[in-house]
Amino acid sequence: GVQLAESGGGLVQAGGSLRLSCTTSGLTFDDLTMAWFRQAPGKEREGVSCTSRSGSSTWHADSVNGRFVISRDNAKNILYLQMNSLKPEDTAMYYCAAVKNLGSFCYRSQYEYDYWGQGTQVTVSS
């Protein structure tokens, strides 16, 4: 079956960094548009970053632009989210998502994605 698995979350102090990873199985990684979403307690899930299948096109939410960078290694079938200058408001469960899309763009909306991981918790202390 199809599986997405996130890793790399944890507890970090404000100003610190974490790198999240997402691996897939059961899918052809090169065909996938991929994204990171997050959901904090009591809040709706929101888009963080997305990347086209080649990585040539990316998007980052205003709240993380300049601090987070999405990237992918198609040779290793891994999606990354490098998170720097973390803030307490970045605390959330982070999910990776994927959809088969042969276009050179990525989707910002969660409703475009067919496959989801179980999430990895990121907690930023002040």
Instruction: Give the confidence band of 3 by pLDDT, cuts at 50, 70, 90.
Output: very high
pLDDT in tens, 76-85: 999 999 999 9
Would you say 40 and 26 are in contact if contact means Cβ atoms under 8 Å apart?
no
Q: And the tokens for 87?
A: 């803030």
Task: Give me the mean pLDDT over the 1-21 stretch.
Answer: 97
Q: And the tokens for 20?
A: 């999240």
